[in-house]
Amino acid sequence: MDFLLNRNEFKASNASTKVNYGKIYEGKSTLELLEIAGYLNSIAFNYLDGSPPTMDKTIFKVRTRN
């Protein structure tokens, strides 16, 4: 079964229920946080971890005005 990140999911909550939300990331190094972000991006955009898709640079083509 293929699981995808549902970007439409929302849970209403208040500050008292989310007090410890960021505590799991508090002691992590910058490199560990970047690895976590890369993993979450790979899930959200459905590509293999470690091999992100290449960017389409054709829209950045330089054009001259006449």
Q: How does pLDDT run across 7-48, given as a tens digit for each residue? A: 666 666 677 766 777 778 888 999 999 988 888 888 888 888
Amino acid at the residue 53: P
pLDDT for res 7: 63
Does 13 reside within a domain? no
Residue 2 belongs to a domain: no
Report the predicted TM-score, pTM, of the whole model to 2 decimal places. Answer: 0.53
Amino acid at 24: I
Residue 32 structural domain: 23-60
At 42, give phi and psi (nearest 5°).
-65, -35
Within 10 Å of residue 47's Cβ, how many Cβ atoms?
12
What pLDDT was estimated at residue 2? 59
How many folded domains does the chain comprise?
1
pLDDT at site 17 = 67
**Predicted pLDDT of residue 5:** 63
Instruction: Tell me the DSSP string of 24-39.
Output: GGTT--HHHHHHHHHH
For the chain, the first-to-last Cα distance in angstroms comes to: 54
Q: 29 lies in a domain?
A: yes
